Amino acid sequence: MPETVIHHGNELKAAELSFDDFKKIVINDYRVGYESRQASILGRREVLTGKAKFGIFGDGKEVAQLAMAKVFRNGDWRAGYYRDQTFMFATGMSNLKEFFAQLYAHPDIEKDPASAGRQMNCHYATRYVDKDGNWVNQAETKNTASDLSTTGGHMPRLLGLAYASKLYRQNKELEYLKQFSVNGNEVAFGTIGNGSTSEGLFFEAFNAAGVLQVPMAISIWDDAYAISVPAKLQTTKEDISEVLKGFQRDSKGAGYEIFKVKGWDYVALCETYERAIKICREEHVPVMIHVIEMTQPQGHSTSGSHERYKSKARLGWEDEHDCLVQMRKWMIESAIITTEDIDELEVTAKKHVRECQKEAWADLEGEIKTEMDEAVELIENIAEYSPKHNELHALTHELQSCVDPGRRDTIAAVRKALRITLGENSHERKVLADYLKDEFVKNKERFNSKLFTDTPHSPLLVPVVKAEYTEDARLLDGREVLNACFDANFERDKSIVAFGEDVGAIGDVNQGFAGLQAKYGDLRITDTGIREATIIGQGLGLAMRGLRPIAEIQYLDYLLYALTVLSDDVASLSYRTRGGQKAPLIVRSRGHRLEGIWHSGSPLGTILNSMRGMHICVPRDMTQAAGMYNTLLRGDEPALVIECLNGYRLKEKLPTNVGEFTVPLGKAEILREGNDITVVTYGSTLRIVMEAAVELEKMGINIEVVDPQTLYPFDTENVCANSLRKTNKLLVVDEDIPGGGSAYILQKVIEKQKGYYSLDAQPKTLCGAEHRPPYGSDGDYFSKPSLDDIIEAVYSVMNEASPGKYPAIY
């Protein structure tokens, strides 16, 4: 079987090679490209005949990727998109069988290591976390960060992957992290389609890499279209490298080295990549390679045909400039290969691809068939004794007649058999029910597992260490407690870095990092531009490469600018690779009430609904926040910590173990005991609820106050529902809009914790208004839950339960 991988060392340095060696390399390249093309053609056919659901392929983009693969070394990273199969094959990061396994959605990491059947085809990833959650040695492997379907969505992460090389090269204290870097020599390769350069994320990442001067090599695969929309409607001057010329480094300052090359010119491509990556790797200068005149022989994807929107002339031009056609022509003209030999190579390559496809299909089909046979037998066993035997026979017959069946067909038939035989009591029926339960467990693992890493390194397993205080513990501003916590952690762990807007020189707008840049240097506590999406991407890339970033979003309201990266990339990373990749990124922000439409946000509903896969921490004060950072910095899962914007100057006691004590995630705390009603709240409203408690006590009402502390995970020990057993009444106080964070809390307490068993009165929520709060204290009073609102909300629940004892106030 031919060897697909181009090993490092196959660079085309013509002067140093004999003509025979040179020929061998070129012919091998062509074979890889040709096999890749056959995979595209066959892949499309598999979709059109119904074996796979959707197909998007890298045809027309092969030759540039062969050239790029030559300069991709161990330790390097790729963050790319769905056209990159040739590059993945050429570097050995994927292969033909895995390509087809993913196309068929094989839910097995052995068959589809990139996503275990979870991602659409041509969405790549290498597994850098082993089954116990340990990092593999990334410096010795070629690495691909898991792809997204959202075009341009990977650009922020690309920045972070490149930035890690800068830190590894410039911060000598990181030399001990040998499994991640060799002196920061690693290049982060990005690929993006011409159309997707219209995305804001592209421009944001592009500018940031120019500012940071990181070894980032962006290749733009330019086929002049984005589905049906031509370059004229996408890009100023229809030419992205023309537009970006101002980024070219020159006597005025550092910037990019920009290259432009034709996608069908093998020799020029090899030379260009050689030059570009040398600059990028050695000088740590970002480079852009604009690869023009690419084609798309089969159109955009299996969803449509490009004949609908490309002119005959364009289609003719594409046929002629097909990169493999051109490469073949050049090889024959240059006496690298004869027509007969290349014809033979193509026949062999085609056969090989077909074999790989068949094997991949047989692997999945075999598993499904075995399971189906087992289920059919179990159903037929019931039929032997069941009065419904005709219906059951029909069911198994129908199941066995399925064309290209899936696991869903078998499981649906089993469930239907159990419905048909409802009320029957045979042993055989019980066996089938047990079989179904076992299959649910297996399918949960296949399709629903690994939202979090769930390994021994999980922050949920970090030992609880209580905060300790001396008798004369100092009372400090909250921000100083945080500052001491960060200081201790920066001292303890050299891989921790923090960055964001105003985080460096002034130590963040609330001074949590004050003085730390002076102490630990600007590579560890760093100012960034105003670019929330790429601040998160920067953190994500660093976290993937073994560093411990704290990425700061200055105010919670600005989190929306980074939401795509958080939701699409950070939060889904573990899930979409089925635990093959992780990124222990800590996002630090501050929110809840302060003032104005963009500085009082508490969009917890938005956050909870879009960021499953991240822990959501809502500490009530800075000491609790510090304990959460201490926990998270010792675990390996991503999290968002929302500090109370109005709490930095409130006095708190400084624990003696401020850098060590931990606040466990998912552990709710009862802050005040009471018998009459349970009030669940968190963050900034907590203090107001505690004030209300004092007033309410004067009115003869004793409230129990529960702080869940983290919204995800939420109160894993059912503290809320247990409290309801005593009080039988529930009020949730939340600053988000009605139906936002409070609806989430209600679902957890009432449904998940079964709190409804204990309720004597309607559970209530007290929330912010549906609009954002106006600027000014009056605006705050009339838009966010106030002391009076809370007192009256509690009272109204009491009034409903005992109107005689608690008559309406007004």
Ligand X SMILES: Cc1ncc(C[n+]2csc(CCOP(=O)(O)OP(=O)(O)O)c2C)c(N)n1
Q: Which residues bind Mg ion (CB under 5 A)?
A: 193-195, 223, 225-226
Q: What does 150 bind: Mg ion, ligand X, none (CB cut-off 5 to 8 Å by kind)?
A: ligand X
CB 304 to ligand X: min, Å: 11
Which residues ranging from 106 to 125 are in contact with ligand X (CB under 6 A)?
Answer: none
Q: What CA–CA distances, in Å, run from 372 to 366, 384, 443?
A: 10, 18, 14
Which residues ranging from 528 to 557 are in contact with ligand X (CB under 6 A)?
Answer: none
CB 292 to ligand X: min, Å: 12
Q: What does 702 bind: ligand X, Mg ion, none (CB cut-off 5 to 8 Å by kind)?
A: none
Q: Are strands 216-221 and 188-193 parallel, antiparallel or unpaired?
A: parallel
Q: Residue 589 pairs with which residues in a beta bridge?
A: 553, 642
- C-beta of residue 372 within 8 angstroms of C-beta of residue 397: no
What is the rounded CA–CA span in Å between residue 326 and residue 349?
A: 18
Residue given tokens 């499309």 in the structure block: 44
What is the rounded CA–CA span in Å between residue 31 and residue 324?
A: 10
Residue given tokens 């109370």 in the structure block: 644
Instruction: Give the tokens for residue 480.
Output: 């100083």
- Locate all alpha helices (DSSP H) within 640-718, ordered by sequence: 685-698
Select 227 or 597, whichever has its Cβ closest to ligand X: 227
- Locate all alpha helices (DSSP H) within 49-129, ordered by sequence: 62-70, 85-91, 96-103
CB 564 to ligand X: min, Å: 8
- Locate all alpha helices (DSSP H) within 133-214, ordered by sequence: 155-170, 200-212
CB 6 to ligand X: min, Å: 23
Select 222 or 637, whichever has its Cβ closest to ligand X: 222
Q: How many residues bind ligand X (CB under 6 A)?
A: 14
What is the rounded CA–CA span in Å between residue 157 and residue 139?
A: 18
CB 141 to ligand X: min, Å: 27
Which residues ranging from 216 to 255 are in contact with ligand X (CB under 6 A)?
Answer: 221, 223, 225-227
Q: What does 248 bind: ligand X, Mg ion, none (CB cut-off 5 to 8 Å by kind)?
A: none
Which residues ranging from 286 to 305 are in contact with ligand X (CB under 6 A)?
Answer: 300
What is the rounded CA–CA span in Å between residue 74 and residue 8?
A: 8
Q: Of 745, 728, 550, 762, nearest to 643 (Cα)?
A: 550
Q: Considering only 35-43, 187-195, 638-646, 795-803, which stretch makes contact with ligand X by CB under 6 A? A: 187-195
- Selected catalytic residue, list 106, 154, 306, 599: 599
CB 195 to ligand X: min, Å: 3
Q: Of 539, 682, 672, 673, nearest to 624 (Cα)?
A: 682
CB 712 to Mg ion: min, Å: 38
- Whether 599 is catalytic is yes
Q: What does 149 bind: ligand X, Mg ion, none (CB cut-off 5 to 8 Å by kind)?
A: ligand X
Residue given tokens 């600007």 in the structure block: 522
What is the rounded CA–CA span in Å between residue 84 and residue 689?
A: 55
What is the rounded CA–CA span in Å between residue 367 and residue 387?
A: 32
Q: What does 227 bind: ligand X, Mg ion, none (CB cut-off 5 to 8 Å by kind)?
A: ligand X
Long-range contacts of 492-495 (CB under 8 A, 24+ apart): 492/659, 493/548, 493/633, 494/173, 494/174, 494/176, 495/174, 495/177, 495/546, 495/547, 495/548
What is the rounded CA–CA span in Å between residue 78 and residue 126?
A: 10
Long-range contacts of 782-786 (CB under 8 A, 24+ apart): 784/593, 784/600, 784/685, 784/735, 785/685, 785/688, 785/733, 785/734, 785/735, 786/688
Q: What does 196 bind: ligand X, Mg ion, none (CB cut-off 5 to 8 Å by kind)?
A: ligand X
Phi/psi for 225 (5° steps) reads -135, 160
What is the rounded CA–CA span in Å between residue 18 and residue 26?
A: 12
Residue least distant from ligand X (Cβ) = 193
Q: How many CB atoms lie within 10 A of CB 309?
A: 15
Instruction: Give the tokens for residue 104.
Output: 């068929």
- C-beta of residue 197 within 8 angstroms of C-beta of residue 220: yes
What is the rounded CA–CA span in Å between residue 263 and residue 687?
A: 62
**Which residue type sits at 341?**
D
CB 193 to ligand X: min, Å: 2
Select 150 or 718, whichever has its Cβ closest to ligand X: 150
Select 202 or 256, whichever has its Cβ closest to ligand X: 202
DSSP state of 135: B
Work out whether 151 is an interface residue with ligand X (CB under 6 A).
yes
CB 486 to ligand X: min, Å: 35
What is the rounded CA–CA span in Å between residue 213 and residue 254?
A: 8
CB 82 to ligand X: min, Å: 7
Candidate residues 193, 512, 546, 580; the one interacting with ligand X per rule CB under 6 A: 193
Q: Are strands 257-262 and 475-477 parallel, antiparallel or unpaired?
A: unpaired
What is the rounded CA–CA span in Å between residue 491 and residue 486?
A: 8
Radius of gyration for the chain, computed over Cα atoms and rounded to the nearest angstrom = 30
Q: What does 186 bind: ligand X, Mg ion, none (CB cut-off 5 to 8 Å by kind)?
A: none
Instruction: Give the tokens for residue 694.
Output: 């004092």
Work out whether 149 is an interface residue with ligand X (CB under 6 A).
yes
CB 514 to Mg ion: min, Å: 47
CB 37 to Mg ion: min, Å: 18
Cα 530-546-526 angle, rounded to 5 deg: 30
For the chain, the helix, strand and coil percentages under 3-state DSSP, each to the nearest 5: 45, 10, 40
Select 193 or 785, whichever has its Cβ closest to Mg ion: 193
Work out whether 83 is an interface residue with ligand X (CB under 6 A).
yes
Select 310 or 328, whichever has its Cβ closest to ligand X: 310
Candidate residues 165, 194, 396, 681; the one interacting with ligand X per rule CB under 6 A: 194
DSSP state of 129: B
Work out whether 157 is an interface residue with ligand X (CB under 6 A).
no
Q: Which residues contact 152 (CB under 8 A, 6 or more apart)?
A: 192, 196, 197, 199, 201, 202
Query: Catalytic site residues?
Result: 599
The residues that touch ligand X, with contacts defined as CB under 6 A, are 83, 149-151, 193-196, 221, 223, 225-227, 300
